Amino acid sequence: MTVRGCAAGAVVWLAAHAAHAEPAAPAPDPPPAPQLAVTHEPPPRHLRMRPRAAAAPPPAARPTAPMPAAPPQLSELDPGDRDELAGLRDVLAPVSFSLTIGYQVDGARPSGTHSLDVPVKEGRDYNALRSYGFGELFLSTRGVALDSLSSYIALRLDAAQPSTYQQPGQAAARIAPPIATWFERSTIETRMGWAEIKDFLPRRLGLRKLRLRAGSQYIYGPWVLHLDGGTLAYDGDIVTASAYVGGRHPDYTTDLANERYFAFGGSLRIDLRKLASLPIAITGESLSLQSGVADQPDSAHRQLEVDWQPRHDFTVLAQLRTLDNQLANARLQFRARYHEVTNLVLDVMRRFDTDWRWDPSLITADDPMTARRYLDLGPVLPQIIASLRGGTLIAENVDLLVRTAIATAPTGSDAQRSSFSAAYVELGGALEVRLRRTVALGVSVLSRQTHREAPRGPDGKDLPGGSITDILLIAQPLPQSAATGERSFTELWLRARISLGARRLSALLEVYGRQTRYAGDYVIRTNPIDPMSPIDPTYPILTRDLRGGGRVTVDAWIGKRLRLFAAYDVSSAIEFQPEITSYKSLRLTMTGVY
């Protein structure tokens, strides 16, 4: 028998013996468990965990100024454009200033010919060379002394030495420069300088948008007024209002500084878009001038403007202006935009004979033929001027602009019509092509055809040939103003521009040409060298003028704070002024920006 068989038999025997054995006595029950009394405690009021022990703080980092957030418009631009715009200075900085120092040289030389009996002489009649220096300072502050205080100042400095010529036994007289400028001596001029404070009233009054500005400033109303005074304005969401008072700052020339005008006025604009959900904004403006000149009366000017914008891409603007409670000017403008890149503007203006001649300080005088201090424009006559211009962007690289204008003949007597109020038709356009964001080529052309009155002789009849007379020995009355001036002109501009980016390096080359046709009035066929010589019928009458010129500019930035600029201008001779030629000018400037 094997070992496996013996083991199996033993298991069977043990199982059978266990089955026939007597059952064992049952085990005694366990003692009963003691009864425990259970009590309920109130819940705790606070359950707080022990705070974790703080780790040792790291060493304090060096504080850095927070970077200003980029405007949301930058996110929509290409990376290259964002880099260029990021280089511009922050206009919200507490202090910003720009200082420009420049030097300019103007020159012109005699041509060797003359149209009068006395030739032009350099150093006696004019200066062939003139140099002068100039400087400009622009400074602005925000919240320097007070959080709500801001200021701005713009200064102009000219350093020029006038040239004089003195003949024996006579007083010294000034010599004209080769190219005329508005100044002839060293001057310091404050163009603008004001201080403004906001939020200066208690907040409980709800006038946080009220501001007060005092100093030399510009007011844009019925007329652009340079004012030395104060302005109180409120810039609300629905209502915008302003009131100003002060003296008019002389801008045309310092010789009229004693002719002061006291000005006061205001404006009120109500935007009905937010008030009554109407796409209309109404603006009313008023300007009053108190004159201190004997022959200039006081004047009051009012202007009403209605802006209707039914859609974001269509606007209608209607404007009326009065002078001393009489309608002086009416204007209607339509503006439309298509696909964000095409714009169209139609502008129609109706001028009445009650309008000012030059500006509110020069209104109708007793004698319209009296020479005034600015321009002898003659009396104001009713006239309609309409213009239409449109521009579009083609393939994101081609800019196209087209413009046309027409002016009707003024209604009035023939004696009142002047050379400045003639009817004309004008057509022009411009095209610029950009190549690879660096090179741009452009061309523009403009042409105008002007209607002139026919010249009349002493008997009032029209003279043939377009000239008053070709006879030297008879009386020659001056032609009427409406018969003088240009009949047409055409000008052409060509330009090429290279730019390596904003505030980097750019260069510009411009070439222009202009041809003008004048009315052949009061023209004599004589030898121009000797006016007393016999009449020369073969000598041509000059009724055309062709001139041209060009400009080269270079604009370079050294870093982001220093700018160097150079410009060179040159012009050809003028056929009606053959005594002087080779007009040229060189301008060098250096600008620091902070």
- pLDDT of 389-417, one tens digit each? 999 999 889 999 999 999 998 876 666 78
* CA-closest candidate to residue 198, choices 247, 229, 231, 246: 231
**Residue-level pLDDT at 458:** 52
**Residue-level pLDDT at 383:** 92
Dihedral of the alpha carbons of 270, 275, 276, 280, in degrees to the nearest 10: 30
Who contacts 468 (Cβ-Cβ below 8 Å, separation ≥6)?
Answer: 455, 457, 476, 477, 479, 521, 522, 523
Of residues 243 and 161, the one with the higher pLDDT is: 243
Structure tokens at 6: 């013996």
**Residue-level pLDDT at 386:** 97
Strands (E), 324-397: 326-338, 342-351, 383-394
**Residue-level pLDDT at 159:** 92
In the chain, the percentage of residues whose pLDDT exceeds 70 is: 70
What average pLDDT is seen over the chain?
79
Helix boundaries (H) for 178-328: 272-275
Task: Answer whether residue 482 shows pLDDT above 70.
Answer: yes
Q: How confident is the model at residue 519 (pLDDT cuts 50, 70, 90)?
A: confident
- Write down the pTM of the prediction: 0.74
SS3 565: strand
Task: Answer whether residue 564 shows pLDDT above 90.
Answer: yes
Which contiguous run of DSSP H or E holds residue 86? Answer: helix 79-86
**Residue-level pLDDT at 264:** 95
Measured CA distances, 36 to 31, 33, 43, 56, 72 (Å): 15, 9, 21, 51, 74
**Residue-level pLDDT at 478:** 65
Q: How far, in Å, CA of 476 to CA of 199, rounded?
A: 70
Question: Any bridge partners for residue 304, and if so which?
Answer: 284, 320
* CA-closest candidate to residue 408, choices 389, 385, 427: 385
Instruction: Out of 56-70, 194-208, 371-385, give the one with best mean pLDDT.
Output: 194-208
* CA-closest candidate to residue 224, choices 301, 128, 151: 301
Give the side-chain half-sphere CA count within 13 A for 163: 15
Task: Answer whether residue 258 shows pLDDT above 70.
Answer: no
Amino acid at site 418: S
Least confident of 70-79, 109-118, 180-189, 351-360: 70-79
331 touches 349 (CB < 8 A): yes
SS3 66: coil
Q: For the chain, give me the number of helices (H) and strands (E)?
A: 3, 24
**Residue-level pLDDT at 6:** 44
Q: How far, in Å, CA of 322 to CA of 320, rounded?
A: 7
Of residues 327 and 165, the one with the higher pLDDT is: 327
Determine the average pLDDT of the residues in 52-65: 53
